[in-house]
Structure 1
Amino acid sequence: MDAPSRSKRLFLSERGLILEYGNRIDPQINGRVRLMTAAIGEKKIPGVVNLMPTFRSLLVEYDPLSISLDHLNEAIDAIEDDLGDRKPPPGRYFELLTYYGEPYNYDTDRIAAHNGLSAEEVVRIFSEATLYIYMIGFIAALPNIGGLPECLHTPRLPSPRVLLPAGVVGLGGQQVAICPVDLPSGFNYIGRCFQKIYDPYRFPPCPYAAGDRIRFKAVSLEEAQAHQDEFPEPVQELEHRTSNDQRPTSN
């Protein structure tokens, strides 16, 4: 289903207007959000002070002393009309080298038991899936990732762990995360990447962005650690590569 070309407007405050393009987690809706974020930024509308894109909406922060809400809505209408049904450019593709063994396979058995799979099948399906980054946020350079094969969907832990090391990779429900720094978390963690995915002294501080696709490629501990602290680079452009439910078939 295509994303709507016109947004639903939600008045947040005298300084905030939300543009909503749908009510579900969907790459096409997110693509529209990304397209509008770029277009509004390029227009440099006087009075617009910040843009905050999310999964399915865009928060436009503005100075009411510089632009009225009516004039802001008119400017956004013009941008949406100009964009029409245009699609965003394809994102980049990253492969993060990930080790799935001890001691970082904290919850692999839990995911396997919940979905009727073996631990080996969990790792194979997860590591072969191409996932989609919807947004960056919550903390540091944390990517909010979707596209997880349905056969791996697993509820979060009843109680979160107090602290996990940077680089651990896990899933909760239908979403995937990699910790950019040491964090507490209630996700189910199954591996670790040793590449550096957050550097506050770089701009931008993380290698990926919303709209990029990512795969957590399975490698040995030695290979993963050999790339410790390297900043990942995109390896190819993607246009139509998607992840599918790869549940093994029984004979």
Structure 2
Amino acid sequence: MEEANPPLLNPTKISVIFKRVPEILQCHTLFRIALAEAVKQWDAEERIGDVFVASFSKAIVLDIYSDFINNFSDLLKHTPQGHHDRMSLQLALTQLESLAEMLNERKRESEQFKAFRETLRRLNGKFSMRSLADTNRYLLREDNATRLEFGTNGTITKSKNRRLFLLNDLVVCVSVAGKTAEDAAAPDRLTLKWSVPVTDVEIQETSTSLTLSHVITATAARPPGGARGPDEPADRRRGGQRPQ
């Protein structure tokens, strides 16, 4: 790719795509050497599981490589129960499964972070998105909700549609602007109403409905910057959708 004329990719993209190739090659080279030595002793020992354990439990491998889980599973299928090599192979498989789980978790966190950044781009209003744009903040889930206002006699006097975003450290409430037929396919336009730290939120089940919850904050629910949202009372909010 570097020598192609015209170039297929610029040097920066080539560096990103093949960033870990030298390290992966080194891991495989060392693994091949160790495996070759084990094969030389096969008639006497019949052991290769130890080689897999030693090669795939290193920190560098955990960082860059996890593509042999199916290979280990197939190898275990052909290794009889009670064989002296089976435990080492099983341990190596466990190491790789843990690695795959870690990589999947990193992928999930990356997707959650991207989802949150996309939400920030859709926010408007007087509150700056900069106050929410923490690099360690990511979206866990979002749900539509209904904010209810009650009169002195306990009856509902007003309801407003809202959307709640559960982040790893905040609960954020936004309003969703209505759409016309012309912009039906466009992303929702959101206006930030308030946010509150997760540690200040308590969820209580009501006795009258399994689909409604009271969200009572230990401190007043305030948007970034310390000011309460223009239409959000600090004492009570009722969610319109129970988290599943």
Do these two structures clear the TM 0.5 threshold for a shared fold by scoring above it? no
Q: Which structure: greater strand fraction?
A: 1
Q: Which structure: greater helix fraction?
A: 2
> Which structure is richer in relative contact order (CA contacts within 8 A, separation 6 or more)?
1
Q: Which has the larger radius of gyration?
A: 2
